[in-house]
Amino acid sequence: MHSKTKGKIGQKLRIINIVPLLIFGFISVMLCYYYFTKTMQTEIKNELRYVAYSVQELLDATYPGDYELHGENTYQLYKGENDITYAYDFVDHFKQNTGLDVTLFYQDTRILSTLYDTSTGNRAVGTAAPQLVQEQVLQKGDSTFYTGVLVNNAKFFAFYTPLRNADGTIVGILFVGKPNADVDAAVQRSLYPFILITALFIIVISIFILLYTNRLAGSLMHIRNFLADISKGNLTAELEQEVTVRHDEFGDIGRSAVSMQSSLRAMIEQDPLTGLANRRAADRRLKQIVRKYEEEGIPFCIAIGDIDFFKKVNDTYGHDAGDLILKNVSDKLREHMRSYGFAARWGGEEFLLVFDHSKVSEAHVILEKLMKSVRALDSYYGEQLIKVTMTIGLTAGDTTDTDALINRADENLYDGKMQGRNRIIWQEPSIPEEIILDESEIGDLIPEKPRDN
């Protein structure tokens, strides 16, 4: 009798203690799963939105102009003067660096896509966007995020945003997406340890879940803040080390975000032809140097250089030859400026050279060597040898007004053009106003009106 009663009491006590713990463990796991999934969806939404807007900006920067469809039987999509119908390298670059799929629709039809038709093995182009997306994006002009839209027979986290021409007309849709299966797999892989350990050690794992989820939330917060900084244009933002050293999916996401930042920074701040800093990056770096001059009195100077008779090279040999000259000259600029500051492509055949920790007389010596190096440069376009010279305007960094400094250097450049090109024009009372290179080393230059290059 007692034995049976004791057994029943023990059983009830076990039930009373174990069942609530099992329920608590189950609820804890469910809550953790829900929190993790919702947070992940929010981060994915922010990531997709940021990448979509970045793609739009890079499309406009790489292919200026409006979207327009040409052809009758075989359609070709143009953006400005560029045929982008088969610009797969552009979308594949984003896929490679972010792991996200990108599709460009003209009206409701896929033109460019990283997606492939599983039945044929070909790119999924020529198919239509979902009807709901057409109504929300094409007709209403809304940017929309979906958590389970069916794309190419698979569910995706998807962000759709309208493509507009300069007059505001909606002409298409841009899609950036990530397969639900990838996200679900990441969620499950992260939660399996919780479920297994909770089944064996309910009380211990309940405490562990609380601590670990706080850590996960902290990592997600760091990733969110990092992506938010990038979305605001801060491409020098740093992700907390506690995220990047992780060896789980969060660490993978963090490292992917850092890799994406590096790729975007290269695409946004680097001139694609020459590999030099572009104007945006040059402005930022110049402001940093000016700030050091203002706060610490560190000397600097700037120069504007221009390839002489560059227009004549394009007109005579073609733009491919002109691109070759730009690349070769840029390599020389990078080589000579590596230890003294930086070089940037300022526009066309003009370059900005910024000397840090240098006085104007010191910069002049470096520029003399650079001029000789450019003049000795042999550029072969086919069997044709093309030689060029440069004219450079140099000025000391004696003010924090960067516009005034650039204007002064540009005026010196103009004076150099007016005085015959192939020279350095600079200003400092203790040295001659201009240094003219040996005319015998210039070579045959084609006469042309000053500045007409």
Q: Where are the alpha helices (DSSP H) in 297-391?
A: 310-317, 319-337, 360-375
Length of the chain: 453
Provide CB contacts within 8 A for 99, sequence distance 6+. Answer: 178, 256
- Taking alpha carbons only, the member of 351, 372, 376 closest to residue 435 is 372
Interacting residues of 37 by C-beta distance below 8 A, sequence separation 6+:
187
Residues in CB range of 377: below 8 A, 6 or more apart: 328, 329, 332, 387, 388
The Cβ-side half-sphere exposure at 33, using a 13 Å CA radius, reads: 15
d(CA 323, CA 227) in angstroms, rounded, equals 35
Q: Determine whether 57 is an active site residue.
A: no
Exposure b/e, 338-358, CB count within 10 A at least 16 = b: eebbbbbbbeebbbbbbbbeb
The whole-angstrom separation of Cα 115 and Cα 124 is: 6
Catalytic pick from 238, 296, 349, 368?
Answer: 349
Collapse the DSSP code of 165 into the 3-class scheme (helix H, G, I; strand E, B; otherwise coil) and give the result. Answer: coil
Q: What single string gives the DSSP state of each residue in 37-82?
A: HHHHHHHHHHHHHHHHHHHHHHHHHHS-S-EEEE-SSS-EEEETTE
Say which residues have a Cβ less than 8 Å from residue 352's Cβ, sequence separation at least 6: 279, 282, 286, 302, 303, 304, 343, 344, 345, 346, 406
Interatomic CA distance for residues 440 and 273, integer angstroms? 32
Catalytic residues: 349
